[in-house]
């Protein structure tokens, strides 16, 4: 049966920042849909951990770059948990470290399809459910951007940084578009965070190599980023929209 709790969808919720966000949101009373593409066991474990603490959670498989899968994912959340109140656009990828003059179109297209198009499609479906223009009761969207949108990631991930720059611009535009319709839209920009994304980009030692560049002289944790995300989702941030919050240790 649909939950009476506020309903949150976290894309890319099986690991890292997404998983930490799902767990923390559940602790604060949200019913959580944990999206994943391929890491089903990890997503199941997040849901088990939430339920073990008395929370409500389900897994929902979908590739956020595929419009048909996105629509089906939201319909499943509607049926299993109820009307959506929050969305965290966390799903994202990085590719192997490369210069721009070494990148092929397929790599760039894949990255933008997931990081940018995926955020648009999921936000579209969320607005259709939350906006008072569509009969909704309001809600909050948090986009997970990156400090890379400010830094550019030269010599490594300029394409990733550019995709996150697009997420920043999307956050600002959408926030203004739906501000009078009860929907708040913000972004969190993590800095050097200890997650598996570095290894997926072929640089498993990246955190150790860049730690010295962080004024706080350490990497952040997924849980520290989750605190900012869940605050932005909450009523405590009721007058906060169109904000880009850096969680980067000063970098």
DSSP-assigned beta bridge partners for residue 9: 33, 87
Those residues whose C-beta lies under 8 Å from the C-beta of residue 16, and which sit 6 or more positions away, are: 193, 195, 196, 197, 222
Q: Would you call 160 a catalytic residue per the annotation? A: yes
Cβ contacts of 196-202, under 8 Å, gap ≥ 24: 196/15, 196/16, 197/16, 197/92, 197/93, 197/94, 200/93, 200/94, 201/94, 201/95, 201/96, 201/97, 201/156, 201/157, 202/96, 202/97
- Using alpha carbons, select from 192, 199, 246, 189 the residue that is nearest to residue 219: 192
Q: Which two tokens stand for residue 208?
A: 């150790």
Query: What is the Cα 205 distance to its own chain's centre?
Result: 24
Query: What is the Cα 30 distance to its own chain's centre?
Result: 16
Q: What are phi and psi for residue 184, nearest 5 degrees?
A: -100, 140
Query: Do 130 and 139 contact (CB within 8 A), yes or no?
Result: yes
Query: Do 40 and 221 contact (CB within 8 A), yes or no?
Result: no
Q: What are phi and psi for residue 162, nearest 5 degrees?
A: -65, -40
Which of 36, 74, 157, 160 does the annotation list as catalytic?
Answer: 160
Q: Tokens 């397929």 appear where?
A: 106
Q: Which two tokens stand for residue 154?
A: 């030269």
Please give the positions annotated as active site: 160
């Amino acid at each position: 049966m649909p939950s009476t709790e506020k309903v949150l969808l976290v894309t890319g919720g099986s690991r890292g920042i997404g998983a930490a966000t799902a767990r923390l949101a559940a602790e604060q009373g949200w019913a959580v849909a944990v999206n994943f593409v391929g890491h089903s066991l990890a997503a199941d474990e997040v849901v088990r951990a939430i339920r073990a603490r008395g929370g409500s959670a389900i897994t929902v498989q979908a590739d956020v770059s595929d419009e048909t899968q996105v629509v089906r994912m939201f319909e499943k959340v509607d049926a299993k948990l109820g009307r959506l109140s929050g969305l965290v656009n966390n799903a994202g990828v990085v590719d192997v470290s490369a210069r721009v003059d070494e990148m092929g179109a397929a790599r760039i297209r894949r990255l933008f399809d997931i990081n940018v198009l995926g955020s648009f499609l999921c936000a579209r479906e969320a607005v259709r459910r939350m906006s008072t223009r569509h009969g909704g009761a309001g809600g909050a969207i948090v986009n997970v951007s990156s400090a890379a949108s400010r830094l550019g990631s030269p010599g490594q991930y300029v394409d990733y940084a550019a995709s996150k720059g697009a997420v920043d611009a999307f956050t600002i535009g959408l926030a203004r578009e739906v501000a009078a319709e009860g929907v708040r839209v913000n972004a969190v920009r993590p800095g050097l965070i200890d997650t598996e994304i570095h290894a997926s980009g072929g640089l498993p030692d990246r955190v150790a190599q860049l730690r010295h560049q962080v004024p706080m002289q350490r990497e952040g944790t997924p849980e520290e980023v989750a605190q900012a995300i869940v605050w932005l989702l909450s009523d405590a941030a009721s007058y906060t929209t169109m904000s880009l919050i850096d969680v980067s240790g000063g970098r």
